[in-house]
Structures are given as structure tokens and as C-alpha cells.
Chain A
Amino acid sequence: MAECVKVCTENFGKGAQDIEVYKKLGGYENISERLFNMSQFELIDYVQRSNLRGRGGAGFPTGMKWSFVPRGTGKPVYIVVNADEGEGGTFKDHFLMLEDPHRLIEGLIIAAWALGSRAAYIYCRGEFLPCIESLNKALNQAYAAGYLGENIMGTKFCFDIFVHRGAGAYICGEETALINSLEGQKGQPRLKPPFPAVSGAWKSPTCVNNVETIMALPWILKHDPSEYAKMGTPRAGGTKVFCISGDVKNPGVYEAPLGTPMMTMINDYAGGVVGGKLKAVLPGGSSCAPLTAEEAAVATMDYECLASMKTMFGSGAMIVINDTHNMVDLLNVLGNFYSHESCGQCTPCREGTGLLHRILNQIVAGNGHDGDVEFMQSLCGGFGGVTICPLSISLGGPVSSYSAKFRADFDEYIARNPDHAKPRVQENYRPGIFW
């Protein structure tokens, strides 16, 4: 394992929650004449050259997203930090905010200068109480030190940051649902267009970025964008904070360059698989398609490779599963989670995720029948691209891919029902006949 440059996690374990320690470690050096002499376009160009892509899951190029924010509309530009980390297996933002809150603040000041923003909101998951404490403490220190508030560093630049506690809905990690929730409405995704960059929070241009994306900015500005771009793959620059969990010896948060082989991550960083042989890896959080052990052996952790293997890089949350687990059990947990977290807006997701979960329950309870898997697969066919947000696919995708790649696990469960070969009882109404 080659020692890699730490971009976001370099201050971990060094007590950087305190502003003095953070400054000693080189913090807030970017908030200087140099930054305030840069034009907005220079700075956006800087970020574009770094090849930084959004770290929240979708991987949208950050510089491009910023360039979409309209200027001179007469409306304020808001920056919203998406810290509503809810995806199963993802816990990086939690540690990033807990260990290094000042880096987030510094990154936000840079982003605010680039976007001409006056205020930013950190939408933090409600359960992250230690994070919120850490953030608020850091914010107070930053205000006291003059990095935030009116006339920062003697310039005319004013900028405020507010921490907003979410109420614990998974869907509020979707940017438009997050904005609705921030505004005090029900956290349900909005119809797009308009996209938040044009009309987001309070109908104003809004830039929603992940915590890790913002936290990479200080490093990029301090060093050179080309240096950051060099670390990753040609289409996505830099390092990534990975969360490795599941059946590994050392689960945790690891920073590594994009394009690191998956088995390096598992064996070198996380100490290898424990409790059995490797069966599957979920490379990007709970909603992505799993990779089998053979696929994992050749996969690299970057957007392009994983997309070519019909799964996704997501938030870089690897869940490692050994061969003592039945994939149906895992899927049932996902079914429970996603059917509970559906916002209830679009019909396919609202009714479909619940139905999938009930069928999975039947299979796990030993009442599975032949044909149940095909029924589930055909239901998932009704999810693709028809809903406002991708939550329905977050369950539909796993159901399709688990049942395609690990069919034996399903058959094993269904075989526990002695009557599995009999068709399910038909209800006695058949509208087609009567009407």
C-alpha cells in the first residue's frame, strides 16, 4: 500500500477541532489576499481544472455545477452543504465533520467567494449530534477569529454559515427534497426542471454540494489543481474518502486516490475479509448493484470502471460481504429500509417498494413460491426512469441485480417452502372475466 496524499483526512486525530490547532496545521491559509484577488471565474476555472467531481454519489463535476449558477439575477445565491448522510454503509461525512470542521468552513468560504454567495446552510443529519456540536463550536471560533461574518479579513466580503438539523429522512439527502426540508416543507423531491442551480432554496440560485466536495477545496487552492487532477483517473481527479464496512478486519474511513483496485482497498487498507471467503462487495453504498468476488478482483474504485460493470461508485461506501450470508437476508433489510424511506410522492415508488418488501418478507419467512423472483424482477421493470427521484431504483436495482447474480440464494430460501412449486392461490376476483 503506497502512502497516499491526504486531502480531506490529513488532520484526523490531531485535534483540529480547535481553531488554533487547525491554523498551526496550515488551516485558513487560503483565506488571504490571494483568494480575494481571484475573480469568480478564475476560481471556478481552478476547480474545473482540478477535475473535482461531486462526492455525494452522483459524481457531477463540481466546477461545471458552479458554472451553471446564474449571475446577476438580483437574487441571493445560497450554498447548501449536503451533510444528510443516510445511504446505508456511508459514514465518511460524519467523521469528516467531527474531526475537521474548520476545513469545511474554509472550503465554504472559498465556495462562497467563487459563487458570490452571502450565506450557506449545512443541512446536517439530525442524528449527528456530536457533529453538530463540533460544527457549532468551530463556527463560533471562526466568527470570533473574523473568518466569518461581516467584512471578512477587512474586505467587503460578508458570509454566514448556519447549521440546520434534519429530522432524519433518507430522502432529504436528495438535493431538492433537502431544499424543501430546509424551507420547512415536507421533504419530498421537487419536479425538475428548474434545477436548484437556477431556482432552489426560496426560489433563488442554490448550489448543493457534499461535505467531502467542499472539504477538498482548501487543498486544491493551496496546491495546484493539476496536482489534484494527477492523483485520480483522467475523468475524475483527486482522492476519495472511502468507508469500508462489513466483514473486514478493520472497517473504517480511508482516503485513497480514485482508481485504486478494489482488492487493495479490502486487503491492504481494511485488513482483509474475515469470517469466511469474499462473496460480494457493494462498491457504492446500499443502493448499488453488488459485485461478485470474481468481479471485485478486477474492479478499480472509480466512476468509469464501476459504471462499466453496471454498478456505481456512489459515495464510495464499500460493504464487504462474506460467504456466510444469504443475499436474500440483506435484500430484505434493504426492502425494509427503502420501503420505509420512500417519501410517498410517486406512485411506483410509494406502492412498489412496499410490495417488494412484502414479497421479500414472504420469501424470508419460508413462504416463497416459484415465480416470486420473476414477479419481483418484473415489478422492478416499472421503476426505471419513471419517478421524480431515484429512490425507487435504489431498491429496484438491488432486487434485479441480487436476484440475477445470486439466484441460488433465492432458490435456497424458496426451497424451504415444501409447497413452493404450487402456484400461489389466485384470488377469486378476476375483473377481466366480469367486465
Chain B
Amino acid sequence: MSNYYNMPKLPTENSPKVEIFVDDKAVMVPGDTNLLEALKAVGIETPHVCYHPYLPVSGNCRQCLVEQEGPRGRMLVISCYTPVAPGMKVYTPASSARVKNARKATQEFMLVNHPLDCPICDKAGECTLQENYMEAGQNEGRMRPEYGKNYHGNPEHQFIDAKGQLRGGKRVDIGPRIFLDEERCVQCDRCVRFMRSIAGDEQLQLAARADHTYITTFPGEKLDHEYDLCVTDVCPTGAMTAKYFRFQKRVWLLSHTPTVSMDDSLGANIWLDHADGKIYRMMPRCNPEVNRSWISNTTRLACLEFGKNRLPAIDMSAIKLEGKVAIVAGGECTIEDLAAIKMLAEKTGAEVFGGTFKKVGSPDGIAMSGDPMANRAGFKLMGLADDNLADLAKRASEFQTVIIVNNDVIGEGKGAADALKKIPNRIVLGAFDNETAKMATVAFGINHWSEVQGTMVNSLNMIQKLNAAPTAPDANLQPAYAVLSALAGTQFTSAFEAFKKAGEYASVLAGLSYDTIKSSGKLLEGGNA
């Protein structure tokens, strides 16, 4: 397949509007995009399999056909590769039987060699083929057993099943995190394009041709990349499945909480998929400005640890502030937590330290900023120090009490342990029973960021909302801002109360509310996204 395919142009808020005729009705659509996106903008969904807004257009599924009036009459064209032109005349299945039949035929072809193992397929429920079938097709199958299916697959993986049918490779171990089901693959080429154009490491290839085509890696190589689990997201069928989520839960039983990852200062937008109080998986949530449709494996696989090794909730009376107090805030503190910290510092005269001992890298241009201090921009906004932990280590003997909030200082920087042990009263507010919690005199369990409502400011200076997934292992756990504000004397009863308090410290936040911050975040003044 040619490497020359170009990224689709997506409409933005500033796109010029042009008039086109859809089914002989004049509509205004964004003028600088492809027909598929333009039709979507006016509420007409076009079924597609290979097209993905953040991958180069390859136009091989032929599912998004529409009819276009051209110099040689009405022609079928693929809407994903047809640019919008003013005055163009387009016909969708609503008015054109030819389009309807062409899409039906393509759908039938796509299912010719696709196994009907939906009942045991992990993708069932969120499979593009199923969606297209339910929306547009629901046609009765015309395949008969005698015709036989020609399952796609590497000849080395093929086998003959009990009925004597030649089958393609099932459960092919294509990499350390992914299984490939060659039979289910519809050769949409998305994973190949993802690895080539987004990951920048062409590890996947379509081998062979015709209906023998199959996805493979280079001989002896494995699919192994920091972003390789994204191919399971872009896969429209159950061909690429993540080992960590395979057979864990039917997807229609999952609830989805839109939130933001505090793994990294880019704040990748994510869905937390959970059921019965347990997080089963993390999926990228599309945000064109931030992480598009991608999240890294580090961000994603961390979700499996959120419920494990947690600190228990204990009674507030265990926390006693004696002498001079230092508060050490970590990057996972939300704006609300920082507001409470600031309030507590004002109340008790405590000094606030912040930062991380982890190595700060550089952005990878996909979905990682490289900075492990997630809310660093938020610290700056609130006027808090974001990089003075070394200072604390030097001056440890000045303090009698230290409150460590959401910061694994000991785990990250071993040298800090000796210094911090000089402080007699060590209070740790954290989600996990990590090394910092182990050296604490009081280890106080709080909610993890996945379980709290709040906001964070990412490295692009966008304020983004976190939503609480109902996955806290213990109902008595409280968010950090609640505990800290209680210590300061006036407990915040809601995240928004804390956010309003933050508005007093940082003027740019003052006019905002959770409703005015969209789900895709809001660029703060002076931002440079």
C-alpha cells in the first residue's frame, strides 16, 4: 500500500461554510474537509471501516460510498476521499437506491470471509461490522456452507477444524500485549497505518494478496511498541485484542466514565470502563487538541493497578499537626486539592513543597508530554512551587510535621528517605500503600484520581475535567481536598466548592465552572495549545 496517503483534513470551528446539495437539499457544511466529515457535521452518518479521522486515508473498505454528480453523470465515490466542493451534488441512501445497494453489496462482501463468532468475540458490542450491519443492513445471509469461507491467515497458522473447513490463525501471539485473530481481520489496514504514520515504527504489514491477505509482523519480529495497544482501539473488528482485557468482560456490561489521565502532564483524555466497582480497561477519549485518539501503554495499563495495594481510610483524629508544618504536594493533586493545600498552609503557616524525583522527559508527539508531574501547570497557576523537593531534603530538620499528599517521594527518590525521617511527625495522604506510606507515622488513605471529581491544567495550558468513577475500594475514602480542608477547619463538601476556592487564588479560574469547561477541556488565557 502506498506510503503517500495523506491525513484527512478535519473540520474545525473556524472552517468556512459552503453550500452543497445532499439528496437535492441545500445544506451548509464545513468546506475544508472530506465529504464523510462534512456529512457528519450535518448529522448524516456514513458507515465506514477503514477511515479513521487521525489516520491517513487509504480508501480500501469501500463502505462509505455516496453518489456524486459529475461531468459523466452520477458516479459512486468514496466519501472519505472526496473533498467538499461548493455546489457539489451528493446522494446518500436516503434518496439513491444505487448507493444503498452498493453499500449493501460491500457489506456482504466484507462478511463473506468473516467468521460469525460474535458470541465469543471480545469486540462484540463495539464492532464496526456489527454496527454497520444493524444500522444499514440486517439483510439475510446468502452464503451457503458449500461455497465455503476462505479465512484470511498466515499459512503457518491455518488449521483444519472438526467440520473439515480450513481455518485461519486464531489467537496468534503477535506481540507481548496483543493477540491477533487472523480470521476476523477485514484488511482495513488501520493498524498498519497507525504503526506507520502515528507510532512511526512500521512493525505491521499486510502480507500476501487477494483473500489470502493477512496482517503480520516482519519475520521473527514481534509487535512491541509503547503505543501498540492503540491498534486494538483502531481495529474495527475483533482481530486485534488486548491480552489484558481479553475475555474479562462483555463490553455492553461496562460503564464509561470520561476523565483525564493524571499519569502525565499532557493529561490524555480517557474513558475509564468499569463494572461492579472494578476498572476493567482504559480507552482513549478523542480530543483533537490533546491526545487525538491515542494513549500510551504506560497510561493505559496503569488502570489495572488503581484498585490494588490501597491504603485504608482511617479516622481523621489520627492526624495531628505539631510544630512547623511542611506540605509536600505531588503531581496527581488536582486544582481542588491544591486549593485545600493552600488554604491549610495559610491557616497553619505551613510551607508548601512540590515536585517529583522522577525523570522528566520530552514530548513524544503522540500522547505523552514526558513530564510525570501531571498538574505542574496547575501548581504554577496556583502560585505553588513545583520543583523544590531538593530544598525540602536540605531543610528537613526545620520541620516537626510533614504532610505528603499524593506524592511517592521515597519511592521515586531514595535519597530523600534519610532526610524526611528527621521529621518526627510524618503524615502521608495517598491512595497506595507505597514506600512513602510505609515510612509514615500516619498513613491516611484517600481517593485515587480516578475516583475524584476535579480539574487539572495540562502542559498545553488547557484546563480539563476529571470525573469520578465509582470504583473506590472503600466507601469511607475521601478525596484529598476534603481531608485537607477539614484539617484547615472548613471542610469542602463538594469538588466545586474547592474549585471556587481555587478561583480566589488564581484569577483565571474565577469565572469558570464545571459546566463552562467542555469535556474536551478549555484553553486558559495565555495558553499556547
* Residue tally, chain A, CB below 8 Å to B: 48
CB distance from B280 to the nearest CB of A (A): 25
Given A344-B212, A348-B62, A352-B109: A385 in contact with B144 (beta carbons within 8 A): no
Cβ-based interface call for B341 (8 A):
no
Are B147 and A362 interface neighbours, CB within 8 A?
A: yes
CB distance from B509 to the nearest CB of A (A): 47
Task: Provide the residues of chain A in CB contact with B113, threshold 8 Å.
Answer: 351, 354
Cβ-based interface call for A350 (8 A):
yes
Which one of A185, A354, A385 has the greatest number of beta carbons of chain B within 10 Å? A354
Task: Provide the residues of chain A in CB contact with B81, threshold 8 Å.
Answer: 191
Among B100-108, B407-415, B450-458, B491-499, the one that faces the other chain is B100-108
Question: Which positions in B face A, CB cutoff 8 Å?
Answer: 1-5, 49, 57-63, 65, 75-76, 81, 101-102, 104-106, 108-110, 112-113, 116, 133-134, 138-148, 150, 186-187, 206, 208-213
Q: Which residue of A lies closest to B59 (CB)?
A: A191
Are A354 and B60 interface neighbours, CB within 8 A?
A: no
Are B211 and A339 interface neighbours, CB within 8 A?
A: yes
Given A352-B112, A425-B144: A344 in contact with B208 (beta carbons within 8 A): yes
From B1, B150, B211, A185 is in contact (CB under 8 Å) with B1
Interface string of A205-239 (1 = CB under 8 A from B): 00000000000000000000000000000000000
Task: Provide the residues of chain B in CB contact with A427, threshold 8 Å.
Answer: 141, 143-145
Are A355 and B147 interface neighbours, CB within 8 A?
A: yes
Are A386 and B213 interface neighbours, CB within 8 A?
A: no
CB distance from A151 to the nearest CB of B (A): 34
CB distance from A143 to the nearest CB of B (A): 32
Query: Can you list 28 pairs linking A and B with CB atoms under 8 Å apart?
Result: A185-B3, A188-B1, A191-B81, A342-B211, A344-B209, A344-B213, A346-B61, A346-B62, A347-B63, A348-B105, A350-B109, A351-B211, A354-B113, A354-B150, A354-B210, A355-B112, A358-B148, A358-B150, A379-B105, A386-B76, A386-B106, A388-B59, A424-B146, A427-B141, A427-B144, A430-B141, A431-B116, A431-B141
Q: Give chain A interface residues in 347-387, CB to chain B under 8 Å.
A: 347-348, 350-355, 358-359, 362, 367, 375, 379, 381-382, 385-387
Cβ-based interface call for A108 (8 A):
no
Given A188-B1, A190-B2, A385-B76: A347 in contact with B110 (beta carbons within 8 A): yes
From B1, B3, B57, A345 is in contact (CB under 8 Å) with B1
Are A342 and B148 interface neighbours, CB within 8 A?
A: no
Given A350-B187, A351-B110, A427-B145: A343 in contact with B210 (beta carbons within 8 A): yes
Are A347 and B116 interface neighbours, CB within 8 A?
A: no
**Bound-complex Cα distance A354 to B150 (A):** 8
Are B105 and A382 interface neighbours, CB within 8 A?
A: yes
Are B109 and A347 interface neighbours, CB within 8 A?
A: yes
Task: Provide the residues of chain B in CB contact with A186, threshold 8 Å.
Answer: 1, 206
Given A350-B213, A351-B109, A382-B102: A430 in contact with B62 (beta carbons within 8 A): no
Interface string of A416-435 (1 = CB under 8 A from B): 00000000111101111001
Not counting A185-B2, A358-B148, A424-B146, a sample of 11 additional A-B residue pairs whose C-beta atoms are within 8 angstroms of each other reads A191-B81, A342-B211, A344-B213, A346-B62, A351-B211, A353-B210, A354-B210, A382-B101, A382-B104, A382-B108, A425-B144
CB distance from A372 to the nearest CB of B (A): 9
CB distance from B61 to the nearest CB of A (A): 5
Q: Give chain A interface residues in 286-317, CB to chain B under 8 Å.
A: none
CB distance from B279 to the nearest CB of A (A): 30
CB distance from A403 to the nearest CB of B (A): 17
Are B209 and A343 interface neighbours, CB within 8 A?
A: yes
Given A344-B212, A382-B106, A426-B144: A435 in contact with B150 (beta carbons within 8 A): no
Cβ-based interface call for A341 (8 A):
yes
CB distance from B101 to the nearest CB of A (A): 7
Are A347 and B147 interface neighbours, CB within 8 A?
A: no
**Bound-complex Cα distance A350 to B187 (A):** 9
**Bound-complex Cα distance A332 to B144 (A):** 19
From B61, B102, B134, B144, A435 is in contact (CB under 8 Å) with B134
**Bound-complex Cα distance A424 to B62 (A):** 29
Cβ-based interface call for A277 (8 A):
no
Are A386 and B206 interface neighbours, CB within 8 A?
A: no
Are B140 and A432 interface neighbours, CB within 8 A?
A: yes
CB distance from A418 to the nearest CB of B (A): 15
Cβ-based interface call for A401 (8 A):
no
Task: Provide the residues of chain B in CB contact with A180, threshold 8 Å.
Answer: 2
Are A358 and B147 interface neighbours, CB within 8 A?
A: yes
**Bound-complex Cα distance A381 to B138 (A):** 19
Q: Which residue of A lies closest to B6 (CB)?
A: A191
Task: Provide the residues of chain B in CB contact with A120, threshold 8 Å.
Answer: none
From A169, A344, A385, B206 is in contact (CB under 8 Å) with A344
From A340, A347, A355, A367, B60 is in contact (CB under 8 Å) with A347
Task: Provide the residues of chain A in CB contact with B102, threshold 8 Å.
Answer: 382, 386
Q: Which residue of B lies closest to A176 (CB)?
A: B2
**Bound-complex Cα distance A389 to B138 (A):** 29
Cβ-based interface call for A203 (8 A):
yes
Q: Which residue of B lies closest to A358 (CB)?
A: B147
Interface string of A157-196 (1 = CB under 8 A from B): 0000000000001010000100010000110101100000
CB distance from B138 to the nearest CB of A (A): 6
Q: Which residue of B lies closest to A194 (CB)?
A: B4
CB distance from A422 to the nearest CB of B (A): 12
Are A381 and B101 interface neighbours, CB within 8 A?
A: yes
Which one of A342, A345, A382 has the greatest number of beta carbons of chain B within 10 Å? A345
**Bound-complex Cα distance A432 to B137 (A):** 10
Given A191-B5, A344-B187, A350-B210: A425 in contact with B106 (beta carbons within 8 A): no
Task: Provide the residues of chain A in CB contact with B146, threshold 8 Å.
Answer: 362, 367, 424-425
**Bound-complex Cα distance A153 to B142 (A):** 67
**Bound-complex Cα distance A339 to B148 (A):** 15
**Bound-complex Cα distance A176 to B141 (A):** 35
**Bound-complex Cα distance A425 to B101 (A):** 25
Are A359 and B211 interface neighbours, CB within 8 A?
A: no
Are B150 and A346 interface neighbours, CB within 8 A?
A: no
**Bound-complex Cα distance A21 to B63 (A):** 57
CB distance from B189 to the nearest CB of A (A): 8
Task: Provide the residues of chain B in CB contact with A367, threshold 8 Å.
Answer: 146
Are A351 and B59 interface neighbours, CB within 8 A?
A: no
Given A375-B142, A432-B138: A388 in contact with B60 (beta carbons within 8 A): yes
Task: Provide the residues of chain B in CB contact with A350, threshold 8 Å.
Answer: 109, 187, 210-211, 213
**Bound-complex Cα distance A385 to B141 (A):** 23
Task: Provide the residues of chain B in CB contact with A199, threshold 8 Å.
Answer: 4
Are A347 and B212 interface neighbours, CB within 8 A?
A: no
Are A203 and B142 interface neighbours, CB within 8 A?
A: no
CB distance from A72 to the nearest CB of B (A): 22
CB distance from B107 to the nearest CB of A (A): 9
**Bound-complex Cα distance A388 to B60 (A):** 8
Task: Provide the residues of chain A in CB contact with B108, threshold 8 Å.
Answer: 379, 382
From A342, A381, A382, A385, B210 is in contact (CB under 8 Å) with A342
Q: Which residue of B lies closest to A423 (CB)?
A: B144
Are A381 and B105 interface neighbours, CB within 8 A?
A: yes
CB distance from B224 to the nearest CB of A (A): 23
**Bound-complex Cα distance A434 to B150 (A):** 25
Are B210 and A340 interface neighbours, CB within 8 A?
A: yes
Q: Which residue of B lies closest to A171 (CB)?
A: B209
Interface string of A321-353 (1 = CB under 8 A from B): 000000000000000000111111111101111
Which one of B49, B58, B104 has the greatest number of beta carbons of chain A within 10 Å? B58
Task: Provide the residues of chain B in CB contact with A424, threshold 8 Å.
Answer: 144, 146
Are A341 and B142 interface neighbours, CB within 8 A?
A: no
Q: Which residue of B lies closest to A365 (CB)?
A: B146
**Bound-complex Cα distance A169 to B140 (A):** 36
Are B106 and A348 interface neighbours, CB within 8 A?
A: yes
**Bound-complex Cα distance A171 to B212 (A):** 16
**Bound-complex Cα distance A353 to B2 (A):** 23
Task: Provide the residues of chain B in CB contact with A340, threshold 8 Å.
Answer: 210
Are B112 and A425 interface neighbours, CB within 8 A?
A: no
CB distance from A37 to the nearest CB of B (A): 38
CB distance from B140 to the nearest CB of A (A): 5
**Bound-complex Cα distance A374 to B57 (A):** 35
CB distance from A309 to the nearest CB of B (A): 20
